[in-house]
Structures are given as structure tokens and as C-alpha cells.
Amino acid sequence: MLFNSWIFLFAYLPVTLAGFFILGRRSELCAAAWLAAASLFFYAYWDYRYLPLLLGSVVFNYGCAAWLAASVPARRKWILAAAIAANLGLLAYYKYAGFFVSSLAQLLDQPLPVLHVILPVGISFFTFTQIAFLVDTCKGMARESRFVHYLLFVTYFPHLIAGPVLHHKEMMPQFADRRTFRLSAGNIAIGSTIFFIGLAKKVLIADNIGAYSAPLFDDPEAPSLLIAWAGVLAYAFQLYFDFSGYSDMAIGLSRLFGVRLPLNFASPYKARNIAQFWRRWHMTLSRFLRDYLYIPLGGKRCGPLRRYCNLMITMVLGGLWHGAGWNFIVWGALHGAYLAIHKGWCAFTRRFHLPADTRAGNAMAILLTFTAVCLAWVFFRAPDMPTALTIIKGMAGRFGLALPDALAPHLLPLQPLLASMGIDYYLGGGTLFIETWTWIAVAALITFALPNTQQIMRRFDPALDFQAGGERWLTWRASPGWAAAIAVLALASMLALNRPAEFLYFQF
């Protein structure tokens, strides 16, 4: 079931909300059980055959957590290691078995049986959520004796499919708070506003601009400079608004139930360096990789060389988390190299006391970071390495620079200059060229010039870990003007729901 579908908006969500608050008047436990059951139905609606897999994972990890809590410290490490191995083994089978077999067949140059394993939606998110819970339980930082609350913690439908990755300490106190189970007009107004802003990002921007990126990645055919960059930028903004939209919708839906989710997306394209980018993009995954992989590997405690190796290992594994393929490994390795270069540059500037905070310098830093991220997105999106390398060559101008011939009559005064620059023309494509760059310009304007959703809702504590700052204009308030604006946005979004498209992060 998709958030951006009629059945979710006009059947599932109203029934789930009504049942939750009606039962909440009588029993918090019954309301929690209702919401957990509704979340399981939400998951089973996609494919009921994988519901036993989700339930089995929940029961197994709940039992392991109880075993860990009751064991002496000497045995906990062994129990934790076995439980994590079982979780990762399940994830590896569904996500990487096919990739491993195909890679082995290529290495051995021998045909091997092809594995057709369907990736259960959300398996990465509920697996990582439970691994974090097991680690915290082993350290004595978490403990949960109520199975219904643990089931709700893992399966809670706003986060189940594409995150955020939750921490027990963030969610369980909210599920235990009686105020959560009381209907609040404030939560309904705030939650619905955040939700409809996210829905608009998805159906009005991401789904429309995505149509202009697909042709490049499906069949690059030696793209010229502007065509290559247009396709890559279109995908960069498609992914941005798709994931930002999902994150907003998840936070908004959860707020309807009186529960605040952790912030997972905070204008990452405005980042001035790659480290800041990863503190703003998929923030809960970055937190998980830092706390449960990078720091246990030694973090920055073992000298510069070891630190760079730890960064590279963490980001390569982060790339593999997103998908089974060499292109995801390259994407992760690129980001590992970016982070290593950034850390080295920071050390250099500190040593020689170089100025690091000027308006022009910040603008250049944002542009450089955005360009590096777009370059890496090519490997993230491309179906294979040859396609990615062809697009990279096009972005570098390897296949020349060409414009649609429909633009030639409008550029007559510039013809000598264009000819001296080696700019050629190709037949057709004028309308597509203009539409693509218009969408890119609109998306860039919204991304870089406007405040994000959390900043718009800054007065109302929109999400966990939100820190008010940055743009302070365009601030939401309970007023007729804002109500009318959100109503128009909601109506426009609903009119675009004829063909609901999946969120891009569903495939990860």
C-alpha cells in the first residue's frame, strides 16, 4: 500500500486513526495492539506471503533481546553475535544471493543457476532497527518486556517501508505516554500539513521530473554534455523530492497519532561539505552506520590512516546496503573517498589557518559538494557499470556539446561564438530540452531558495532532533490563509493520484 494512493488516504488511514483513538479512551494496550495489527495489514497488503517473514523476525529478535537481558555479561557477546549473524544472514539471502551467484558465475566463467529472489519490501529497515535494539539491550541501554509494544515499535507503518531507522529509546516512551492515545486537534493540524507538503513533493515534483531522467539512464547513446547533465540533474532532484516527500509524509502520518519520528532529511543539497551532506541525507541510516559500524571499527581513535580506512569500509558497506551491485559499491566508495578528502582538507586548513567561512566560499562549497554528489548519483541510478561510465563521459564533454536545431533560429547573433566553441545541433528534441531544463530550474529554486518542511513548521516541534535554525521566513501558523494554501496543495496532489508511483527507496 502506498501513502500516495486513494485506498490509503480514504480507507486505511481514517479507519486506523478512528480505531486507535476510540480504543485509546478505554485501554492504551488495546490501542497499541490495534495500531500494530493495522501496521501488519499495511505490510501484508503489498504481499501477504512475506508477512510470516516479518513476524518471524520480530518474534526471533524479541526472544533474543529477552535472552540477552537475562544473561550474565560474559554470555551476552556470544548471544548478540549469533543474533546479529542470523539477521544479517536473512538480509544477505534476500538482498545479495542473486548478486553473489551472478558475480561468481562471471568470475569462474561458468553458467550457474540463476536465483530469482524477490526482495521483501522494508527488510533493510526492520532488520537494522532490530539490530540496533539488540546492541542497546546488550549494553543495558534498552529493555522491553511488553511484546505488543515491541511489535508496534518494529512494524509501525509510517516508518516500516522506507525508514527512518528507529531507536528504542526514542519511540517506547512515546508509546507509553497516555497523552499519545488522546485525540489532539493540534496534532491533526500539524500532521496533516506536514503530510500534504510531503505528498506534493512526491506527486507534483518528483514523479513529474523523473520522466526527464529515465531516457538518459535507460539508453544513454553517447549523450552530449547538456543532455547528460540534464538527465543527471533531473534524477538528482527526482530522488531528492521523492525521499524528502516520503520523509515528510512519514513524520506527518506519525504526528496524527501523537508520535514524533526522528528527523531523516534536512536540505542535504544545501550542505557545504560531504560530511554535512551525510548529516542531512538519510540521517537515521547515517547515525546507524556511525554508531554501530564506524565507531566499533575504531572511528578516528586509531590515527589518520586507520580513520580513512574506517570511513571507506563504512561507506562501501553503506553502498551495499542500498543495493546488490557493483555500481552501489562504486557509489559507496566514491562517498568514502569524498569523506577522506574532506577530513584531509579540514586538517590542512586548520594547520595553516586558512579562512573557512566567507559568503563566496560557502557558495562555492555548496556547488562543489552538490556536483560531487551528482557525479556519484550516476552510479547509484545506472543499471550497470558500462551505462554509468558512458554517462560520466558525456558529463565530461567526451561526446561534444549539441543543442536542438529548434533553438538555432533564436541564437542567430551567437552563431559565430557557438561555432568557435564547437557547439553542434541535432534534429528534434527542442520541446523536451526546454521542458527538462525548466523542471530542473524550478526544482533547484525550491531546493536552494525555500525553507524545508521542518523549518516551515519550526514553531511546532515537528520532529525529534529538530533544531530550529536557518531560514525563518515562510513559517506555518494556524490561520485561514495557511489552511487555504495547504488545501489547494492537497487538492492539486490528489488530482495527480491517478497513477500512484512507488517511492524510489522502496527498492532499497
Whether 132 and 13 share a structural domain? yes
Q: Which domain holds residue 298?
A: 268-399
**Which tens digit of pLDDT belongs to each residue from 186-218?**
999 999 999 999 999 999 999 999 999 999 999
201 vs 357: CA distance, rounded Å: 32
24 lies in some domain: yes
Let me know: does 95 contact 125? Beta carbons within 8 Å.
no
Q: What is residue 312's predicted lDDT score, i.e. its pLDDT?
A: 93
484 vs 489: CA distance, rounded Å: 9
312 lies in some domain: yes
Whether 254 and 333 share a structural domain? no
Whether 245 and 273 share a structural domain? no
Whether 259 and 313 share a structural domain? no
405 lies in some domain: no
**Which tens digit of pLDDT belongs to each residue from 359-403?**
888 899 999 999 999 999 999 999 999 999 999 999 998 888 888
Q: Is 116 a catalytic residue?
A: no
Q: What is residue 438's predicted lDDT score, i.e. its pLDDT?
A: 95
Whether 434 and 475 share a structural domain? yes
Q: What is the DSSP letter of 473?
A: S
Whether 275 and 376 share a structural domain? yes
* 9 Cβ contact partners less than 8 Å away, ≥ 6 residues apart: 494, 497
Whether 336 and 455 share a structural domain? no
Domain count, the chain: 3
Q: What is the DSSP letter of 115?
A: P
Whether 77 and 140 share a structural domain? yes
Q: Please choose, from the candidates 395, 368, 402, 397, the residue with its C-alpha nearest in 3D space to the C-alpha of residue 379.
A: 395
Which entry of 149, 159, 322, 335 is annotated as an active-site residue?
A: 322
Let me know: does 312 contact 329? Beta carbons within 8 Å.
no
Q: Which three cell numbers stand for residue 458?
A: 519550526
**Is pTM beyond 0.85 here?**
yes
413 lies in some domain: no
State which of 121-135, 162-176, 438-452 shows the largest mean pLDDT: 438-452
Whether 319 and 389 share a structural domain? yes
Q: What is residue 302's predicted lDDT score, i.e. its pLDDT?
A: 80
**Which tens digit of pLDDT belongs to each residue from 469-499?**
666 788 999 899 999 999 999 999 999 887 7
| Helices 185-200 and 225-256: angle between axes, nearest 10 degrees | 160
Whether 363 and 456 share a structural domain? no
**Which tens digit of pLDDT belongs to each residue from 424-454?**
787 777 888 899 999 999 999 999 999 999 9
Taking CA 204 as the corner, what is the angle to CA 197 and CA 210, rounded to the nearest 5 degrees?
Answer: 125
H or E, element range at 423: strand 423-426
Q: Please choose, from the candidates 381, 368, 443, the residue with its C-alpha nearest in 3D space to the C-alpha of residue 208.
A: 443
422 lies in some domain: no
41 lies in some domain: yes
Q: What is the DSSP letter of 119?
A: P
Provide DSSP, 127-174: HHHHHHHHHHHHTTS-----HHHHHHHHH-HHHHTT-PPP-HHHHHHH
421 lies in some domain: no
